[in-house]
Structure formats: structure tokens, C-alpha cells
Chains A and B, each alone.
Chain A
Amino acid sequence: MEATNGAPQTKAGDWRSYERVLLPPVRDLHKIDVYEQHGGYEALREALTSDRWDPKSVTDEVKASGLRGRGGAGFPTGLKWSFMPPVDPDVPRFLCCNGDESEPGTFKDRQLMEYNPHLVFEGMLLACYAISAKAGYLYVRGEYADWISHMERELENAYAKGYVGENIMGSGFSCELIIHKGAGAYICGEESSLMESLEGKRAYPRIKPPFPAQRGIWGYPTTINNVETLACVPLILRRGGAWYAKIGAQRHPGPVLYGISGHVNRPGVYEYPTGMLISDLIYEVAGGMRGGKKLKAVVPGGSSTPILRADMIDGVTMDAETLRDAGSMMGTGGMLVMDEDTDIVSWLRRVTHFYHHESCGQCTPCREGAGWLENIVTRIDEGEGRLRDLDLLIDLCSQMEGRTVCALADAAAWPVRYTVTRFRDEFEARCRPSLVAAG
């Protein structure tokens, strides 16, 4: 590990003097004229009207930036775009922007959509141009009703100014943007489920392959990216992929909206480079632990990312490689901080309840497994657990992981697997005392 706790760290560079780019400090940036005054829609104009750019060179620039998806899996964005099949004039192509944001602990896309909606629209338009799509759907979770009306208002302004619609800025490129309102289902964040939902069906995830680039919405080639991912694209075109690639951690570069919640003095959404030390995020950025308590654990990137004990975060930075080596994942960058008084068993019980509730029920390992995880953790939490239940839980996780149509089963199993292994003593202590000795 290069950086250590307390010592100046390198990956996020001199983060104290970092200047925000996704949410720069500009009053009323959500209004289209303010956005224009600050260089808004210039990248789009450049891409559509100058000879320097064509769909391929836009994709190449995004590849050069090293941008990786912010929706959870961290997949390289330019590479994903290049999976789209060659253009066939008879076959429509689509873009989906994933604003479902339902992974517990994640609340950054909402703030981005409120404070910089045009950056999201511009990113969607550039992506549509790069993959030659004629329409982009922005799927927003139904609970964000107020933010949906906010964005619909702003989208109308973008239409009125000719940035969206027919023959954009006289370039001959036409593209529609449509905001789709969900209605409360975590699973709709999963890409193929989102597409089923867009098509007006029950949102059961699809078996992959075929992947969205081959068969996406209505069976047509489709690319899907997260809101924050696409918001990076105009910045990359404006300032160059090389500029972007230098921000933060080398192999996972760029600005990140860190959503910090839990037992800290100052929770919130913060924009900093990737590669921030977890300890800096807690103690420097988020104002330290509430009430001066000791740190017990951190969930770095949303409920499905493996929990890290306080003694595991020394020198650990927020980027895919370092977090993987530390035994977790970057996920959505929504970090939950827990203090020493946290009852980890009761917390895990509530997490298992979430996944049981949200399983779509298509696959037996997920539908039944998520239910059994909840039942068993509940039994332990109630003081009725047996010591062997802990191994049973791990076994159950192994039966769920990688055996289902979508990754929700894995997302349900990981918190259990890692919380039980990393806090095993607390789970054992909760099991029935008379049975602990007997095993």
C-alpha cells in the first residue's frame, strides 16, 4: 500500500485545493442561461459541428479519459460504447441513462440532477451522438417526483433552445431525450430490468447474453450508463481526455460525488477526486465521527459492497484497485460510516430484509435465498441463533452467488458473507449461550 493513514497521500493529489467540475460553485447553474454562460452545451456544439469530431473520435476521447461507470460496476465507459454494433440505418439505437439510484446509502445522482441537470442532458446527447442513437431515455426512480418535474422543466428549456430535438444546432443530428418515471422497485436499477420497465412490463431482469448492445430496449442496440457517468462526458470533451485521466487515482480517474452518511458530524454529497483516503473522507471531509466516538466500520459504496472494519481502512483509498485489494468495492461511492456503538447484527438484519423485499422472484436461489438470509439473521438477532447458523449463512451465500439471472442475488449475499466473517465474534456472542459451547 503506497499511502498510509495520516501521511499525505498521493492518489487524490492535493485534494484540499480541488476545484469542483461536476458541481462547480456557480449560483443557479441549473438554469439553462447560467449553464450556457459557463461553457454549457459548447462541447455538444463542438462535437456536432466541428470537423475534429465524429462519433468514433468522441468515443476514443472518452476511452482516453479512463472514465469508468459510476453506477456500481465501474466498467470502462468508452469500451462499453464501442460494443455497439455497426450502424444500420434501418435499425434504431437507444441510450438509457440510469437514474434509478436505489442502492441503499446512495444519494448523489439526485443532487446532481437537481443542481446540474443540463450537464446530464449534454452528456446524454454526446453519448447518443457517439453511439448514433436517435433517442435517450433518462430513467428516474418514481420517488424523485419533485426532481423529475424539475428536470422536465429544464429539459423543455433545452428543447426550446434547440439543443435537443430535430437537427440540433443545424448539424443534421437529431435526438430526443425522454424522462421516464419509475414507480418504486430497486431492481429497476439493474440494466436489463430497467429496459423491461421502460417497455411497460413487469421489470424482470433478462438473461445475458444477449447484452444490451446487441438486444436492448425493444430488442434494439442500447447502451446504458449511470447519471454521474454521463455527466462526466461533456467535461471530458471540453477539457480533453488527458486532463480527466490526471484527476485522482490513475487506473480509476475522475471526480466522484461521494455520498457520506451515518455517524459523522457532517454527512452529505461531496465532490472530490477518486483515490481519496477513506480516513480523510471521514475525519477531514465529513467533519469526523459524531460525538467523538470511535469508528467501527465503513461500507464504502452502497449496501451491496463488503463492509470494512475500522482496522481494515488504514491507507485504503476510494478507487477500484485499492478497494479490491482491501476486500471491498467502490460501488456507487455512497459511504456509510458506523461508530463503535453500532449493533452490527441488527443492522445486517435490516439489510437482509431489504434484499428479500426487493428480489423480483424470478430465480429460486435469490427468491428463497434472500428470504432465508433474512430469517436466519433475524433468528440470530432475536437471540435464538445456533452457532452453526453462521456457517449455514456462508453456505447459503455460496449457493446464491453467480447462480442467478442478475446480480441482485450477489448483492444480497455479499453483505451477509462479509459482515458475518468480519464481525464473527459479535454474531457468535448473539447466538444462544447454551448452544455455543456444544457447537
Chain B
Amino acid sequence: MADFIKHPEVPLPDLDPAPSFSEEELVFTEEERAQIAEYVRRYPTADGAVMRALWLAQEKFGFLPPEVIRLVAETLGIPYAQAYGVATFYTQYYKQKKGRYVLDVCTSFSCQLCGGYDMLHYLEEQLGIQKGETTEDGLFTLQEVECLGACGSAPMLQVTNGPYVFNLTPEKLDALLEDLRAGKMPAFTSVTLPQDEDEMGGNRRSDAPQSAVYETPPVARTLE
């Protein structure tokens, strides 16, 4: 047999790892089942609801090991292979256990030119880990991600598929880490349109938890 077949360059994933959840844990509650049934009603076939159901499962279990994907597939009545295929196609579905907080720092396109890597490296120093790793206490996972659609507020990051934090500085990151260690997620921030600042004197929403403005981006020290 050719050498590369015996020694594939890419390590194959463990298709049948030891389960992370016991049989008793692997259930959806009545409400969760009702919610999934509601998702199913939005589509002509149950398949359409698989992404929402995987989101629900990820919020409940924290990540999507094979046994959780199987639970989703069984609940929807679709093949396991299909649910597995979907779960592994999209980057926001976690196939491995992550830290309690996942810090997704954008280093793409505009953020790269406006200090995204400076922020990433600052977090690497503060947390004592490299991108892609999780702190020993299991609190933080640090990731480098592609454009999050907030390029005018560069550099920026997202916390665990949830709130965005805009116009990062080292001081802002220190405060963020402190808040997260105390269990406090950042509040939703509404970014004020520059024209609203000029014409309306500030943010147009009276119900936004907090608002920010577009700021002049910092000078990037490194681009990688």
C-alpha cells in the first residue's frame, strides 16, 4: 500500500469517541421538544429545522458530540448522517467542548488593518494561551475568526456566538475579561449611525441596553 494511505497527513477524526453525556442526560425536555416541533412547522419538511434544532442542542449541552447530534436527528426523524453533515459544515457549531466563554476575535479584511491581530495577541498574553486553545481553568477559548460584519467598528470580537464588543482596546479587553470572570456577559450594544449622531444627536433607539459610536480605528502594529 502506498505510504500516504497508511500514514495520512491529516489525522482522521475519532468517529466514535467515548460519549460525553450519559443516556439519562441525553433527553430533550417537554418544552424543548415543543420548541423543536415549532421549528419544524416553519418548513415544508423537518429537514429545514435541523439548524435551529442543532442551535438549541448546543445551547443546552454546550457542544455537539456525536451522541447529541444523534439525539437531534432522532427527534427530527432525519438520518444521523444528515444531521452530522450539517453540524460539521458550519463553524459556529462546536464539535469539541470549548471554554465557558469563547472569544472570537475578528482578524479579517478591515479588522486586520485596524489592529485585530494586536487584540488577538494581547488576549493570548493575558490568557496565557495561543489562538485555538482553551485556558486550563476551562473559562476561555480564544479563536481567530473571519469578518463578523462589523468592519466599521474594528477591531472587534464576539463572545460565545452572542454579543459583539466593538472598538477594542487593551483596556476594554481587561474590563471584558474581568466581567466575564465574574460571570457577567457584555450587554447588547447598538452602534449609532454617524448620520444619526449628526442629525439626531445620538442613538435612535430608546430601548437599546447601551450604545456606541463609530470611532477612528487604531493604528495596527502587526498584520499577522
Which residues of A line the B interface, CB within 8 A?
A: 20, 23, 25-31, 92, 101-107, 109-111, 114-115, 141-146, 176, 178, 180-186, 197-203, 218, 259-271, 287, 290-291, 303, 334, 336, 338, 341-343, 346-347, 349-351, 354, 357-358
Contacts and interface: CB of A to CB of B under 8 A. Distances in A.
A200 B193 CA distance: 35
Given A110-B150, A199-B47, A183 B55 contact: yes
Interface stretch (B24-32, B126-134, B170-178, B216-224): B216-224
B199 A25 contact: yes
Contacts of B51: 180-183, 197, 200
Contact of A266 (B93, B154, B194): B194
Contacts of A197: 51
Contacts of A263: 113-114, 217
A259 B181 CA distance: 34
A144 B147 CA distance: 12
Contacts of A198: 43, 48
Contact of B48 (A103, A144, A199): A199
A181 B207 contact: no
A261 B194 CA distance: 13
4 shortest A-B CB distances, which residue pairs? A200-B47, A104-B109, A183-B90, A184-B92
Interface string B97-137: 00000000001111011100000000000000000000000
A262 B114 contact: yes
B74 interface: no
A183 B51 CA distance: 8
A178 B224 CA distance: 40
Contact of B108 (A142, A338, A350): A350
B207 A28 contact: yes
A342 B113 CA distance: 8
A66 B78 CA distance: 44
B90 A142 contact: yes
A336 to B, nearest CB: 5
Contacts of A20: 195
A199 B42 CA distance: 11
25 contacts: A25-B204, A27-B200, A29-B204, A104-B110, A142-B161, A146-B162, A146-B163, A181-B51, A186-B146, A200-B46, A201-B47, A201-B86, A218-B45, A261-B152, A262-B110, A266-B214, A267-B214, A269-B194, A270-B193, A270-B195, A303-B109, A303-B147, A342-B113, A347-B112, A351-B109
B158 A143 contact: yes
A174 B173 CA distance: 49
Contacts of A291: 219
B151 to A, nearest CB: 4
A399 B107 CA distance: 28
A350 B86 contact: no
A186 B108 CA distance: 13
B214 A268 contact: yes
A263 B110 CA distance: 9
Interface string B186-206: 001011011110011000111
A261 B188 CA distance: 21
B112 A350 contact: yes
A92 B110 contact: no
Contacts of B223: 343, 346-347, 350
A181 B86 CA distance: 13
Output the residue of A342, A349, A354, A358 with the most chain B CB within 10 A: A354
Contacts of B219: 290-291, 341
Given A28-B207, A146-B163, A350-B108, 19 more contacts: A20-B195, A23-B195, A27-B200, A104-B146, A106-B151, A107-B149, A142-B92, A143-B148, A143-B149, A144-B149, A183-B51, A199-B47, A200-B45, A201-B85, A201-B86, A266-B214, A271-B195, A303-B147, A354-B147
Contacts of B54: 183
A142 B145 CA distance: 13
Contacts of A346: 223-224
Nearest to B49: A200
Nearest to B114: A262
Contacts of B194: 266, 268-270
A28 B85 CA distance: 41
Contacts of B82: 200-201
A360 to B, nearest CB: 8
B50 interface: yes
A271 B198 CA distance: 13
A102 B147 CA distance: 7
B151 A261 contact: yes
A183 B91 contact: yes
B175 to A, nearest CB: 20
Nearest to A143: B148
A350 B90 contact: no
A141 B146 CA distance: 13
A32 B115 CA distance: 39
B90 A267 contact: no
A142 B86 CA distance: 14
A231 B172 CA distance: 35
B44 interface: yes
A182 B90 contact: yes
B110 A105 contact: yes
B90 A26 contact: no
A268 B217 CA distance: 11
A146 to B, nearest CB: 5
Contacts of A26: 204
B186 to A, nearest CB: 10
